[in-house]
Amino acid sequence: MSFDVEWCRISAQTEDLLENVWELERQPLKMVNVSRVERMCEHITSREIAFQRLKPLCIALLRKNEVQDVEDFENLLRCLHEELISEIPEFLVHPVHAVLKKFSESSNEKLQLKLTSSIRIIFNRGKPHADVLRPSSFCALYEQILLLAVCVNPEGLEVKPISEEVKVDVLETLAVMLEAAKNDLVQSLFSRENFPKIGYTVVGIAKILDTEKVREIRLAALELLSVVLSLDTRMNDVTWSFQLGSLICSVFPGLASRLMKMLTGYSEEGRRVVGAALKAWSTLLRICVSDSFLLWIESDVANLPECVVLPYKRDGVSCQNIAEEWIQKTIENTNFRLIPMIRSVSRHNHSSVRLNLVEAICSFATDCPRCASPNMKGLVEALAYLSVDDVNDVASAAKRAMKEVCSTRENLFGILQSVFLENLDSLKSAIRKSSLPNAFHKRTRCVEGILKAMTPEEIDVLMCSHVNVDNLMCLLLEIIELDHCPLTEQEISPSKISSTGVITSRDVSESPRLKINFANFLGEKVADDCKRIFQFLGSSSQAALIYDELSKILTSRTACLESSPKKKEVLVALQWLISGRIGLSVRLDDEYTLRSNSELINNLVEDLLEEQILSVPTSSVVRSSERSDSVYDACLAAELLGLASAVLREDFQSCLVRALSPLLELLCHPDKLLRCAAKSSLGMMAKSMGFPNEAAFVSHNADYVCSALMIKCFKSREHLSAGVLYSALLQCLSKESLTLVTGVLDKATLRLKSRDAQRDIALLHMMKNYLGACVRWFLSDGEKCALVSPRREREEHEEDVVGTNPGAENCDTEDSCFTDPPKKVFPVYVEKAAEIMKISSRILESRCVIEIDMVALQTIGDAIAILDNKDYEDVLLPAAHETWPALVLRLKDVTRNFACTRRLAFLRIVELCCATGDFLRNRFHQEAWPVVKAFLIKETDILERCGRHVLVTDPDYKFLQDLLSSFGKLVLNLKPSVRVVDKVIFTVARLLNVVTDDDFVERGVGLFRTVGESYPDVVYCVLVREFRLMAKVGHPSGKFATHIVWRPSDKELSRIGIEKTNLRGKLIGMLQDLGMWCVL
């Protein structure tokens, strides 16, 4: 039959195309330039134009059978409108099918690829149905495309030896045809004559999966398999599903085995291949082992289609026995690889694969309960593991699947409990074998998922067993066993206190943080799993039971005095447990929850204080490399208290009576790690209870701290602790709380004053901290760092302006000058500073303990800094008069062991003389100066004998340095005689001839510069005489005679040394700055 006649016959089957076709047929054939088809046929929507373009292309395609003709035909298809393609698919399929049939056995693969590409375009864009495409044509085309990849031999079906590209293209084309075709066309494949074609497809896919290793081919085969297995879902009749299942059941064992084997060893497969295999496996189980299909097999096995051959059929065996045996064998084969496959895929790295697994498990458990029952433990375990996945989509899908499975099972709690206990046993084995962290991670994830899958009532039943709770806690504590190696963290300077009293927050990168190192694993995965388990248990109604179990371990006593072996682990577990209660009362808004939270936190605070975990010795600094266990425990306990405050929020107020004071003591601990932990905990408490910062929080609750402080003052073993607590209180308060802290200090003074050395040192520390806070609150840095006393500057200024009697200009009459001035009222801290100064001097004079002397002298220095003001001279002078004997006594102490106290005493004397002006001038010259002069001369003689071999860390050498730095202040404030100044300058010049230390030289030159401003003659003459300056010099003012100084030769200069040369240069520069030097 000619092409024209066939074309007309096919066209006549449509409604209104017949006339157009005959009209075109009567016209002479015009050859079209096919190279311009694509440009000429853009956006074709008219049937007439479409047939006008299609006819010459189809004729050329059937006659020439060239690749270019197929390409032109394909380009034209892309230009046709989708509605037009959906109306004439028969016309488009016919020439392609004819050429494809002709070249099915050909090696022209490029032509085959173009033909299959054209078919995909027709079906993707046309979506044909039986009214426009005959079912026979559809089935014939499907068979022809299938035969491109497989061939049917007497021995069975085999895959053709074609290229990988053709195989992928054929599989994709078959999948597109089945997906795009309407249901009426798909139903034609289920007819008796066409049904084997589906079987050939499934068998061919199985062959390809066995033989092909290329990922693209396996992916295309799996996608086609999923499409074939899902054909029954497009029909509303369950008969289609049974018919499809009866067809595939003969190859089900081998196909299912191949898929599960592929999924078990998925490391060689790609993400898309594993996902497609999971989808195909799930659909295969739904079709072949669903309860409805197995029931249909048992009841209607004698009426199975002829094409179905059960693999276990034997002669002499009834059909019913064959069905039962097939079902039993099928279930056994399915379950053989099921659980290992599910466990393997559940650990896949990609979330989409895990999500597909959740859907597959849910479908299998709900559609195939008969087959899934023997493996329900493994399925529940997998869903529990995936329900706590890191990806929210996977976790949410697993939770929904778990609920759906629970709704279809009556005794699922028994399965959950059994899986829970099995995982605990597995954890024991993993710990005993020192397994890798992944083993812990898998099991802890399962335990977490199982607990979250249970209802609150089921958790209560599970936790009512003391054995279960004890095993769970012991295992978790063993898993999170901490590494007790010494901590290493960067040492940084202590936190500073701002002028407002708020603890200055340090930069996070500089603040030392307690880093928890676990002994059994590295990383945070396992720790996060355990943390979530404790948080979940903390949010449950069994939190009190879990806490009691942990509390028993925490309070257990051991024979040794060290911390309990599990104390650190328990503290970490309690942190996680308490964090699970945060916000719970707000979410539930339940009075019972509030009451249970309060009881739990009160018990926690009581246990921590009874165990004295927060009590860490502060007598010596604990090095970073050798931190004791008590420091570690205290850090964990401090963080635990902060979490507890976040649970109760405003209701935590009742716990502050006991918890605030120990926490504040850690704020002044020498260990930086403890200070940061305490500060962090205080910040969390302040935030939880609604305070803007730590200072406001502590100020509001200062009465609790004061009460605890007074109790410590009455206990002989806690006097030093009282001082530490008082210091912490001052750090957190501002100057608005001056009255409070002053009253506390008054009471502590009455209790601790004049008792014993231990109480004296505690009292001195409290007074020193009080003065330090006052300096921080009320004095500026400029006042503290001035070289000349502010009082002396004011006196000189008044003398210049008013005269010798500053009050004379205000005396109008003689009587008014003799009227008693009104009594001055001084600030509280000023009067308290004078009192502290007197108390410290009495302790300094009565005690002979170096530690007490050092603190007392430091306290006196802080008091002098506060009282160094002319307005406070009525308070300062009596205190200075009473303090002077104690300072002189310590200055005269020549015992070697007290060299540091003698040095501090001299500095206090200098400060006191500068602050009081002429008041102590005579006493200084009579009592202090002889001691200082004797010390200076003696040390100079020693240094001249020893040469430059001087130990710069020697206390006496440090005393010399302080003397050089301080004598200038004495000269400016006391105005000593020329004889005294000449003696000092001469002795210092002798020292500089011996000592070449840069710091010492700088101090000496600074002394010359300061004294030279008041006594230029003395400094000029001594320096020129002692250092033999290398020039003809003279004072420019003419006050001094011109001195002709020896100028050494180059040979003599080389023996002087570079140090002396540098010293002369500095001295000459200093004299030039003072205007006492020029070269004549």
Exposure string over 906-918, b if 16+ CB within 10 A, otherwise e: bbbbbbbbbbbbe
In the predicted structure, residue 973 carries a pLDDT above the cut 50: yes
- Looking at residue 1062, its pLDDT comes to 65
Q: For residue range 53-108, what is the model confidence (pLDDT) as tens digits? A: 778 778 877 777 777 877 888 888 788 877 777 778 888 888 888 888 887 777 77
In the predicted structure, residue 884 carries a pLDDT above the cut 70: yes
Degrees (nearest 5) of the Cα angle 966, 968, 969? 70
Q: What is the mean pLDDT of residues 657-677?
A: 85
- Looking at residue 321, its pLDDT comes to 56
Q: What is the mean pLDDT of residues 865-894?
A: 87
CATH code that applies to domain 1-227: 1.25.10
- Looking at residue 694, its pLDDT comes to 86
- Looking at residue 1076, its pLDDT comes to 63
- Between 59 and 879, the higher pLDDT residue: 879
Structure tokens at 171: 């599989």
Contacts of 722 (CB under 8 A, 6+ apart): 709, 712, 713, 748, 762, 766
Weakest-pLDDT range from 143-152, 498-507, 909-918, 1048-1057:
498-507
Weakest-pLDDT range from 421-430, 545-554, 789-798, 855-864:
789-798
Which has the closest alpha carbon to 686: 670, 671, 675, 698? 698
> Do 943 and 992 contact (CB within 8 A), yes or no?
no
> Do 1028 and 1052 contact (CB within 8 A), yes or no?
no
Which has the closest alpha carbon to 920: 970, 964, 956? 970
Q: Which residues pair with 1044 in a beta bridge?
A: 1032
In the predicted structure, residue 869 carries a pLDDT above the cut 70: yes
- Looking at residue 1041, its pLDDT comes to 39
Which has the closest alpha carbon to 1040: 999, 990, 1076, 1080? 1076
In the predicted structure, residue 876 carries a pLDDT above the cut 80: yes
- Looking at residue 548, its pLDDT comes to 86
In the predicted structure, residue 625 carries a pLDDT above the cut 50: no
Q: What is the mean pLDDT of the chain?
A: 75
- Looking at residue 43, its pLDDT comes to 66
- Looking at residue 288, its pLDDT comes to 80
Q: For residue range 784-837, what is the model confidence (pLDDT) as tens digits? A: 433 344 444 444 444 443 344 444 444 444 444 445 556 678 888 899 999 999
Q: Which of 135-144, 190-199, 509-518 has the highest mean pLDDT?
A: 135-144
- Looking at residue 26, its pLDDT comes to 35
- Between 382 and 154, the higher pLDDT residue: 382
- Looking at residue 628, its pLDDT comes to 65
In the predicted structure, residue 1058 carries a pLDDT above the cut 70: no
Q: For residue range 302-318, what is the model confidence (pLDDT) as tens digits? A: 555 554 545 444 444 44
CA distance 980 to 998: 26
Q: What is the mean pLDDT of residues 519-545?
A: 83
DSSP letter for each residue of 448-495: HHHHHHS-HHHHHHHHT-HHHHHHHHHHHHHHTPBP-SPP-----PPP
In the predicted structure, residue 969 carries a pLDDT above the cut 60: yes
Check: pTM over 0.75? Answer yes or no. no
- Looking at residue 1055, its pLDDT comes to 40
For CATH 1.25.10, the residue range(s) in the chain are 1-227
- Looking at residue 780, its pLDDT comes to 58
Q: For residue range 730-776, what is the model confidence (pLDDT) as tens digits? A: 888 888 888 888 888 888 888 887 667 888 888 888 899 999 889 88
Q: For residue range 703-720, what is the model confidence (pLDDT) as tens digits? A: 888 888 888 887 777 777
> Do 412 and 405 contact (CB within 8 A), yes or no?
yes
> Do 834 and 825 contact (CB within 8 A), yes or no?
no
What's the half-sphere exposure (Cβ side, CA atoms, 13 Å) at 799?
A: 7
- Between 450 and 1023, the higher pLDDT residue: 450
Q: pLDDT tier at 300 (50, 70, 90 boundaries)? A: low
Residue type, 888: V
Q: pLDDT tier at 688 (50, 70, 90 boundaries)? A: confident
Structure tokens at 504: 């200055």
- Looking at residue 835, its pLDDT comes to 92
Q: What is the mean pLDDT of residues 1002-1012?
A: 82
Q: What is the mean pLDDT of residues 466-479?
A: 86
- Looking at residue 340, its pLDDT comes to 83
Weakest-pLDDT range from 241-250, 601-610, 638-647:
241-250
Which has the closest alpha carbon to 209: 197, 199, 222, 198? 222
Q: What is the mean pLDDT of residues 673-692?
A: 88
> Do 866 and 779 contact (CB within 8 A), yes or no?
yes
- Looking at residue 719, its pLDDT comes to 76
Q: For residue range 254-271, what is the model confidence (pLDDT) as tens digits? A: 787 788 878 876 666 778
In the predicted structure, residue 970 carries a pLDDT above the cut 60: yes
Q: For residue range 317-363, what is the model confidence (pLDDT) as tens digits? A: 445 555 666 677 777 777 777 888 888 888 888 888 889 899 888 88
Q: pLDDT tier at 1 (50, 70, 90 boundaries)? A: very low
Q: What is the mean pLDDT of residues 449-455?
A: 88
